[in-house]
Chains A and B, each alone.
Chain A
Amino acid sequence: MGEFRMPSLGADMEAGTLVEWLKRPGDRVKRGDVVAVVETQKGAIEVDIFEDGVIERWLVEPGTTVPVGTPLAVIGSGGPAAAEAARVAAQPAAAVVVAPTPVEKPPTRASFEPAGEPRRSRASPAARRLAVERKIALDALTGSGPGGAVLRSDVERAIAQMAPRPVSPKRLDFGEMRRAIAAAMSRSKREIPHYYLSTTVDLTRALGWLEPANANRAPAQRLLLAALLLKAVAHALGEMPEFNGYFTHEGFQPGAGIHVGTAIAIRGRGLVAPAIHDADKLSLEELMARLRDLVARARSGALRSSELSDPTITVTNLGERGVETVFGVIYPPQVALVGFGAPVERPWAVGGQLAARRVLMATLAADHRASDGHRGARFLANIDRRLQSPETL
Chain B
Amino acid sequence: MTRDDITAVLIDELGRIAPETDATGLDPDADLREQLDIDSMDFLNLVTTLGERLQIDIPEADYPSLATFGDAVDYLAERLGTAA
Q: Chain A interface: which of B5-13, B34-42, B73-81?
A: B34-42
Q: How far is the CA of A220 from the CA of B45 in the complex (A)?
A: 8
Task: Kindly supply a per-residue 1/0 record for chain A positions 265-278, scoring 1 wherever the CB is within 8 Å of any chain B CB and 0 otherwise.
Answer: 10110000000000
Q: How far is the CA of A287 from the CA of B49 in the complex (A)?
A: 21
Question: Who on chain A is nearest to B18 by CB?
Answer: A267
Q: How far is the CA of A159 from the CA of B59 in the complex (A)?
A: 55
Q: How far is the CA of A225 from the CA of B18 in the complex (A)?
A: 22
Give the contacting residue for A224; candidates B20, B44, B58; CB below 8 A: B44
Write the nearest CB–CB distance from A236 to chain B, whole angstroms: 22
Measured between beta carbons, the chain A residues less than 8 angstroms from B40 are 224-226, 319-320
Measured between beta carbons, the chain B residues less than 8 angstroms from A218 are 48, 51, 57
Measured between beta carbons, the chain A residues less than 8 angstroms from B59 are 215
Question: Who on chain B is nearest to A226 by CB?
Answer: B40
Measured between beta carbons, the chain B residues less than 8 angstroms from A268 are 37
Question: Who on chain A is nearest to B43 by CB?
Answer: A320
Contact B58 A219 (CB under 8 A): yes
Beyond A224-B44, A321-B34, whether A215 also contacts B39 by CB under 8 A is: no
Indicate if B83 sits at the interface (CB-CB under 8 A). Answer: no
Indicate if B61 sits at the interface (CB-CB under 8 A). Answer: yes
Contact B41 A292 (CB under 8 A): yes
Contact A321 B48 (CB under 8 A): no
Measured between beta carbons, the chain B residues less than 8 angstroms from A222 are 44, 60
Is the contact region of chain B dominated by helix, strand, or loop, or is it mixed? Answer: helix
Q: Which of B37, B57, B60 has the most CB of A within 10 A?
A: B60
Write the nearest CB–CB distance from B59 to chain A, whole angstroms: 7
Indicate if B14 sits at the interface (CB-CB under 8 A). Answer: no
Write the nearest CB–CB distance from A212 to chain B, whole angstroms: 10
Indicate if B3 sits at the interface (CB-CB under 8 A). Answer: no
Question: Who on chain A is nearest to B49 by CB?
Answer: A219
Contact B37 A267 (CB under 8 A): yes
Measured between beta carbons, the chain A residues less than 8 angstroms from B57 are 218-219
Question: Count of A residues near B, CB < 8 Å?
Answer: 20
Contact A211 B41 (CB under 8 A): no
Write the nearest CB–CB distance from B22 to chain A, whole angstroms: 14
Indicate if B23 sits at the interface (CB-CB under 8 A). Answer: no
Measured between beta carbons, the chain B residues less than 8 angstroms from A214 are 60
Give the contacting residue for A215; candidates B41, B47, B48, B60; CB below 8 A: B60
Measured between beta carbons, the chain A residues less than 8 angstroms from B39 are 265, 319-321
Question: Who on chain A is nearest to B39 by CB?
Answer: A319
Contact A219 B44 (CB under 8 A): yes
Write the nearest CB–CB distance from A251 to chain B, whole angstroms: 37
Write the nearest CB–CB distance from B31 to chain A, whole angstroms: 9
Contact B48 A219 (CB under 8 A): yes
Measured between beta carbons, the chain A residues less than 8 angstroms from B58 are 219
Q: How far is the CA of A296 from the CA of B49 in the complex (A)?
A: 14
Question: Who on chain A is nearest to B61 by CB?
Answer: A215
Q: How far is the CA of A295 from the CA of B48 in the complex (A)?
A: 15
Indicate if A291 sits at the interface (CB-CB under 8 A). Answer: yes
Q: How far is the CA of A295 from the CA of B20 in the complex (A)?
A: 17
Q: How far is the CA of A268 from the CA of B38 in the complex (A)?
A: 10
Q: How far is the CA of A195 from the CA of B36 in the complex (A)?
A: 35
Q: Which of A219, A222, A226 has the most CB of B within 10 A?
A: A219
Measured between beta carbons, the chain B residues less than 8 angstroms from A224 are 40-41, 44
Q: Which of B20, B37, B44, B58 has the most CB of A within 10 A?
A: B44
Interface of chain A residues 202 through 224 with chain B (CB within 8 A): 211, 214-215, 218-220, 222, 224
- Chain A residues engaging chain B, CB cutoff 8 angstroms: 211, 214-215, 218-220, 222, 224-226, 265, 267-268, 291-292, 295-296, 319-321
6 smallest beta-carbon distances between A and B, as pairs? A219-B48, A219-B47, A214-B60, A319-B39, A295-B41, A220-B48
Given contacts A265-B39, A292-B41, A292-B45, 15 further A-B contacts (CB under 8 A): A215-B61, A218-B51, A219-B44, A219-B47, A219-B51, A219-B57, A219-B58, A220-B48, A224-B40, A224-B44, A226-B41, A268-B37, A291-B41, A321-B34, A321-B39
A-B contact pairs, 24 of them (CB 8 A): A211-B60, A214-B60, A215-B59, A215-B60, A218-B51, A219-B44, A219-B47, A219-B57, A220-B48, A222-B44, A224-B44, A267-B20, A267-B37, A268-B37, A291-B41, A292-B44, A292-B45, A295-B41, A319-B39, A319-B40, A320-B39, A321-B33, A321-B34, A321-B39
